Amino acid sequence: MTATIHEDEKRERRTRGLELAEASPPGAGGATDHLGEKAAAASRVSFTFPEWEKSLEATRHFFAASLNDTLKLVASSLHDQAAFLKALADSKTPSELLKCHLDFAEQSWSKSFSEGSKILDRLKHVHRLAVS
């Protein structure tokens, strides 16, 4: 029942708006000019505060940069793993195998530590800016 009442009210508003638009010619300062002004003003109104927009933009850029750094680290690690497997396949003696394992472990640890610390430093820097 209430749905039909709301629909009837909507139809009445539409017909009144059309009648007002027909009653005054465009440019005569009638209802159509006010409707156009209201529509233009509504299109300029932002539904968020400028501070929020800046904060959201900064957060989006931060996550994009962090994701980019992380993906670079992952790609580099995969490349290192492929090189490690190739070196293992080319090894002839047990000492060469052991050397490959030790080199790979050292390289992986140092790269993970250095790149991971860069990502964490970025997090700390952004957190300091957000707190200030």
- Tell me, what's the pLDDT at 93? 95
Whole-Å CA distances, 3 to 8, 10, 12: 9, 11, 14
Predicted pLDDT at 6: 66
Element (H or E) spanning 129, and its range? Answer: helix 94-131
| pLDDT, tens only, 37-51 | 666 655 555 666 778
* Per-residue model confidence as pLDDT tens digits over 62-116: 888 888 988 999 999 999 999 999 999 999 999 999 999 999 999 999 998 998 8
Q: Where in the chain are the domains?
A: 2-44, 50-131
